[in-house]
Amino acid sequence: MRPFRLHEPTTVQEAASALAGSGGGAALYAGGTELLLAMKSGLLAYDTLINVKSIPGLDAVSADGDSIVIGASATHSAVEHDPLVRERLPLLSEVEHGVANLRVRNVGTLAGNLCFAEPHSDPATLLLVYEAELDVAGPSGSRRIAVGDLQTGSYETSLGPDELLTAVRVPAFPSGMRAAYSKFGYHHRPTLGIAAALAVQDGVVADARLALGCVSPVARRLSRSEDVLRGERIDALTEDSAVLREACRLASEDADAVEDMHGGVDYKEHLVRVFMERTVLRALARNGGGDG
C-alpha cells in the first residue's frame, strides 16, 4: 500500500476542516474495512487518512426520543449487541449479524458502510424502511438528510468534499409495524437484499415500506409496490394473491437491476419478485407486532 499520513482530529469541526483543506487528498477513516482493501489493491490512493475514531464520543449509541442515534464510529458488532438496539431495533441487530463476517463486523462501522456506498450493503437497504436520517457535519455547521438521499451511485454519495457523517438516527418502527429482511446470494457479498415493514391496523395494511438493495448500484424504496399494498386486508395477502403478485411485479420493474457477476437482469428481476413475496409474507407472519 502507498504510504499515507494519519490525521487524528479530536472534534468533528477539526475533521471537517482537515477534509476541506486536503483538496481531495484526504479520506475519512473509521473501520477501514472497505477503504483499506481498495487502497491495498491500488484502486484508491490518499495522502492522508482522517481517523474519525479519535473524536471522543462518536462511537456512542444512545436514545433520542423515538430514535436511536448511532455514532459514526460505532462498529457493526457494537450496533448488533447494543442493548438499546436489540430492544428497540431488533431487525437492525439481526441484519447487522449477517453483515460479512465477524472480523469485519468487529472493525467496520455502520456509518462507514453507508458512506463507502458499496452497492451490496444490507444496512443501506434496511435503513430505508426504518426511514433513518443522517447527521452530516461540515465546516459551516451540520444538516440532517434522509438515508435515501445519501447514496447517489456506485461508491458515490451526496456528501460534499468537506462533509462527514456523524450519526445515523434510526427511529423505532411505530407500534403495530411488522418487518422482515431477506438476503440472498452465494457470493461473499449479497446478490439481493429486501426489507419490508408493514403497519397493520384492524387487519389492514395502514402503511407499507419496502426497500430493495444490491441488484442495482443504489438501494431504493419501492413506492409503487408500497401503494399497491397500502389499504389491503392482510388476510388477502397470501401467496399468489393478485395484489401481492402485482406488488412484486412492480418491484421488479422498479429494480433497475444491472447484469454483473451476481446474475443477469432477468434473473435478478425474478429474484426480486420471489423475495418480495417471501419478505412481505414473513413480515406479516410476525403478528406479535414490532419488528422482531
Partner 1 sequence: MTTRGFKTVGTAVRRVDADDKLSGRAQFTGDLEVAGMAFCKLVTSPLPHARITRVDASRARALPGVYAVLTAAELVNMETHYGSDKKDRPVIAIDKVRFQGEPVAAVAAVDLAIAEAAVELVDVEYEELPTVTGIDEALDGAGEPVHDSNFCHEYGYEWGDVDAAFRECDRVFEDTFEFPMVYHYAMEPHTCIASYEPDRIRLWTSAQHPFLVQAEIARLFGRQLDQVQVVVPYVGGGYGSKSYTKIEPLVTALSREAGRPVRLALSVDEAMRTVRRHAARGTIRTGVMNDGTIVARECTGYVDTGGYTDNGVRVTERFGDRMPGPYSLANVRVKTYGLFTNSTPAGSYRSIGGPQAIWVCESQIDVIAHALGMDPFEFRVKNLVREGEEVRRGRRPIEGDLEYALRRVADEFGWDSWTPGPTPPGVKRGIGFACGVTNSGASPTSTSLVRFHADGSATVYIGSAEMGQGSRSVMAQIAAEEMRIPYEKVRVVASDTTAVPWDRSTGSSRSTTLMGLAVHDAAVDIRTQVLDLAAEHFEAFPEEIEAEDGRASFKGETVAFAALVRNMFGGSGGELMGRGYVTPKHPSGKLRQDPVFWEVSIGAAEVEVDTATGEVRLLRYYSISDPGKAINPKQVEGQDEGAAMQAIGHTLFEEMLYEDGQLLNPNLVDYRVPVFTDLPHEFETVLIESGNGPGPYGAKGVGEGGIVCVAPATANAVFNATGVRISTLPLTPERVWRALHEAGQA
Partner 2 sequence: MAEAQDTLAVAFELNGVPVEASVEPQTPLIDLLRERFGLTGTKRSCDVQVCGACTVLLDGAPVSSCTVPAFEVRGRAVLTVEGFAADESASPLIEAFVNNAAFQCGFCTPGMLLAAKSLLDADPAPSEDVIKDYMRGNVCRCTGYKKIVEAVHEASEAGR
The contact set with partner 2 (CB under 8 A) reads: 1-10, 14, 18, 32-33, 36-37, 39-40, 48-49, 54, 77, 100-104, 106-107, 188
> Nearest approach, Cβ of 274 to partner 1 (angstroms)?
5
**DSSP three-state, residue 82:** coil
Contacting residue, 48, 145, 158, 184, with partner 1 by CB under 8 A? 184
Contacting residue, 141, 186, 287, 288, with partner 1 by CB under 8 A? 186
- The count of C-alpha atoms lying within 13 angstroms of the C-alpha of 169, restricted to the half-sphere facing its C-beta, is 14
φ and ψ at residue 160, rounded to 5 degrees? -70, 165
Say how far apart CA 250 and CA 222 lie, in whole Å.
8
Contacting residue, 20, 204, 274, 281, with partner 1 by CB under 8 A? 274
Please identify, among the stretches 121-129, 169-177, 262-270, 280-288, the one whose residues bind partner 1 according to the rule CB under 8 A: 262-270
Q: Which is nearer to partner 2, 22 or 241 (CB)?
A: 22
Say how far apart CA 36 and CA 165 lie, in whole Å.
19
φ and ψ at residue 50, rounded to 5 degrees? -105, 115
Cell numbers at 276, concatenated: 418480495
Q: Which of 224, 218, 231, 210 is nearest to 277 (CA)?
A: 210
Which 236-255 positions form the footprint of partner 1 (CB under 8 A)? Answer: 239
CB atoms within 10 A of CB 274: 16
Decide which of partner 1, partner 2, none touches 270; Cβ closer than 5 to 8 Å per partner kind.
partner 1
Decide which of partner 1, partner 2, none touches 184; Cβ closer than 5 to 8 Å per partner kind.
partner 1
Is the alpha carbon torsion for 99, 105, 108, 110 positive or negative? Answer: positive
φ and ψ at residue 172, rounded to 5 degrees? -65, 150
Q: Which is nearer to partner 1, 68 or 271 (CB)?
A: 271
Decide which of partner 1, partner 2, none touches 43; Cβ closer than 5 to 8 Å per partner kind.
none
263 forms part of the interface with partner 1 (CB under 8 A): yes
> Nearest approach, Cβ of 177 to partner 1 (angstroms)?
26
71 sits in which H/E element: strand 67-71
4 forms part of the interface with partner 1 (CB under 8 A): no
Q: Which is nearer to partner 2, 67 or 75 (CB)?
A: 75
230 forms part of the interface with partner 1 (CB under 8 A): no
> Nearest approach, Cβ of 30 to partner 1 (angstroms)?
20
189 forms part of the interface with partner 1 (CB under 8 A): yes
DSSP state letters, 146-209:
EGGGTEEETTEES--TT-EEEEEEEEPPPTTEEEEEEEE-SSSS-SEEEEEEEEEETTEEEEEE
Binding residues vs partner 1 (CB under 8 A): 3, 184, 186-189, 239, 261, 263-264, 267, 270-271, 274
